[in-house]
Amino acid sequence: MKKAVCLLSGGLDSAATAYIAKKQGYSIYALTFDYNQRHRREVQHAKDIARKLGAVEHKIIQLDLASIGGSALTSRRIKVPKTGSKGIPATYVPARNTIFLSIALAYAEVVGADSIFIGANHIDYSGYPDCRPEYFKAFQKMINLATKKGVEGHKIKIKTPIIKMSKADIVKKAVALKVPLEQTWSCYKGGKKACGRCDSCTLRKHGFKQAGIKDPAEYET
Amino acid sequence: MKKAVCLLSGGLDSAATAYIAKKQGYSIYALTFDYNQRHRREVQHAKDIARKLGAVEHKIIQLDLASIGGSALTSRRIKVPKTGSKGIPATYVPARNTIFLSIALAYAEVVGADSIFIGANHIDYSGYPDCRPEYFKAFQKMINLATKKGVEGHKIKIKTPIIKMSKADIVKKAVALKVPLEQTWSCYKGGKKACGRCDSCTLRKHGFKQAGIKDPAEYET
């Protein structure tokens, strides 16, 4: 059975992506980062999703990105903005996808996976540079040169199956694949309920509305 | 004053590289990884070197690469080979430079550094794929697309000043720049004395010999 490393954040997009990998016949090696993000609630959600999904293994890596800072998600000194801010928002975490993919690459090489699935999306997204197709293309070129497997001719492929889907289409896909939507957590804040106001909540709410599907998440507003 | 992030392992090559960055007029933001390597002795050496060097800041990042494994340096189940093994040796740590450079990239973006210095060497080296010039070239292309700074036109440069130097030339350069050679640690093992037999010891001993300089390290053999 072919193997895939799936980055799992606890959110909707990465859950849908992991279920797509499963549907494609991969056995799943889930990978989640506990990176001292603003709230760790999402790590528990990732655990629940990995279990439901039937992942062969779920690796949770501790990585203190808060000690580097520079983002509203890793530094308490920077506020999570409401939706609609211009340019790259304060929730951008410097080099996050590059860091996550690099560690996923190590994991893929060790377990012998031929693919890494990441739930990046370039349509209904927050403007992060490391969610763009051209970024992933460059990352792919780099990893072909970076690893022992690469040198030996076994290329590890970065797969971004939802990169060009709208949020509404992701929701529909997730429903079709029986993703446990009630286990996914999208809000940037870690309250009892999702805030309903941050970029991530706004995109999610809009996606469910457009898809005509009831969002099981509870929102403050 | 221009800023550089310098990857500092505690070894000779990274120390020489950081001193080259200093000589070029950079203020130094040193970065070391405590990655559950076979021995952590080198982390203490990195601290001593950063202090001597006058680094503005020295960030030590905990990152459990041992939980991923796959290398003699991170897994006790894999032996450190004696020198002379063929192909990519068991001391290769999957995707290590990619992971280290990715985190260095985040750090550089946050502190506003325009360069990342890494002491990779492609001449007297152990055959690691992520020490080759073509790898660094591909990494450079990727980061130009990965970051907020990159998108805004401020490119962060990966610098590998010793990549084409022989070990003997690195030793001579280190002496010329007053690198505290006695603080550097090259051995893959963590004994009281350097083992004198692993790839890293062998390369180092050879380099000092060729350079005609006394190696302050104590060896078992």
pLDDT tens, chain A, 221 aa long: 899 999 999 999 999 999 999 999 999 999 999 987 767 788 999 999 999 999 999 999 998 888 888 887 887 777 877 776 677 888 888 899 999 999 999 999 999 999 999 999 987 666 888 999 999 999 999 998 998 888 888 889 999 999 999 999 999 999 999 999 999 999 988 788 999 998 889 999 999 999 999 999 999 98
Q: So what's the pLDDT on residue A69?
A: 81
Chain-centroid distance of CA A49 in Å reads 12
Whether residues B132 and A141 touch (CB distance < 8 A) is answered with no
Q: How confident is the model at residue B48 (pLDDT cuts 50, 70, 90)?
A: very high
- Please list every residue in chain B whose beta carbon sits closer than 8 Å to the beta carbon of residue A93: 106
* pLDDT class of B163 with cuts at 50, 70, 90: very high
Inter-chain touch A139–B143, beta carbons under 8 Å: no
Across-strand partners of A63?
B63
Residue B40 has pLDDT above 90, yes or no: no
Percent of chain B at pLDDT exceeding 90: 67
A62 closest CB neighbour out of B64, B103, B148 = B64
Q: Is some CB atom of chain B closer than 8 A to the CB atom of A66? A: no
Residue A148, pLDDT score: 86
Asked if B97 reaches chain A (Cβ–Cβ under 8 Å), the answer is yes
Does A110 contact chain B (CB < 8 Å)? yes
A130 in contact with B, Cβ within 8 Å: yes
pLDDT for position B36: 77
Rounded to whole angstroms, what are the CA distances from A214 to A172, A205, A208, A218? Answer: 11, 9, 6, 11
- Answer yes or no: is pLDDT of B209 > 90: yes
User: What average pLDDT does this structure show over B134-144?
Assistant: 93
CB contact under 8 A, A147 and B94: yes
B176 part of contact set with chain A, CB < 8 Å? no
* Closest CB from B88, B105, B129 relative to A98: B105
Chain A nearest C-alpha distance from B126 (Å): 12
Q: Is B130 on the interface with A (CB under 8 A)?
A: yes
Closest Cβ opposite residue B129 in set A59, A65, A147: A147
**Is A93 an interface residue toward B (CB < 8 Å)?**
yes
For B148, the closest of A92, A98, A132 (CB atoms) is A92
CA atoms of A118 and A207, how far apart (whole Å): 19
Contact with chain B for residue A35, Cβ under 8 A: no
pLDDT at res. B98: 95
Structure tokens at A194: 């999702």
Q: Quote the pLDDT of residue B84.
A: 65
Residue B178 in this model has a pLDDT that exceeds 90:
yes
For B68, phi and psi rounded to 5 degrees? -90, -40
Q: Round to whole Å and give the CA distance between B13 and B33.
A: 16
CATH classification for the domain delimited by B3-211, as one of 3.20.20.120, 3.40.50.2300, 3.40.50.11720, 3.40.50.620: 3.40.50.620
pLDDT for the residue numbered B66: 84
pLDDT at position A82: 74
Predicted local confidence at residue A105, as pLDDT: 95
CA distance B36 to chain A (A): 12
pLDDT of residue B24: 98
Q: CB A148 to CB B142 under 8 A?
A: no
pLDDT at B82: 74
Model confidence pLDDT, tens digit, residues B58-103: 999 998 888 888 888 887 777 877 776 677 888 888 899 999 999 9
Does the beta-carbon distance from B109 to A70 stay under 8 Å? yes
Shortest alpha-carbon distance between residue A166 and chain B (Å): 22
pLDDT, position A91:
81
B78 touches chain A (CB under 8 A): no
* Partners of residue B95 in chain A, C-beta under 8 Å: 102-103, 105-106, 109, 143, 146-147
- Residue B73 in contact with partner chain A when CB distance is under 8 A: no
pLDDT of residue B33: 93
Interatomic CA distance for residues A146 and B218, integer angstroms? 33
User: Chain-centre distance of CA B20, in angstroms?
Assistant: 13
Which one, of B11, B16, B61, B83, lies nearest residue B41 by Cα? B11
Query: What type of residue sits at position B74?
Result: T
How many CB pairs below 8 A link A and B? 148
Query: Is this complex scored with an ipTM above 0.85?
Result: yes
CB contact under 8 A, A145 and B135: yes
Specify the pLDDT at position B199: 87
Measured in angstroms, the CA of A142 and the nearest CA of chain B are apart by 5
Q: Where are the domains of chain A?
A: 3-211
CA angle B212, B213, B215 (to 5 degrees): 130
Q: Which residues contact A153 (CB under 8 A, 6 or more apart)?
A: none
Q: Give pairs for B160-163: CB < 8 Å, separation 24+.
A: B160/B17, B160/B117, B160/B118, B160/B119, B160/B120, B160/B133, B160/B136, B161/B17, B161/B20, B161/B21, B161/B117, B162/B13, B162/B16, B162/B17, B162/B20, B162/B119, B162/B120, B162/B121, B163/B120, B163/B121, B163/B122, B163/B131, B163/B133, B163/B136
Confidence of residue B41 (pLDDT cuts 50, 70, 90): confident
CB-CB contact of A94 with B106 (8 Å): yes
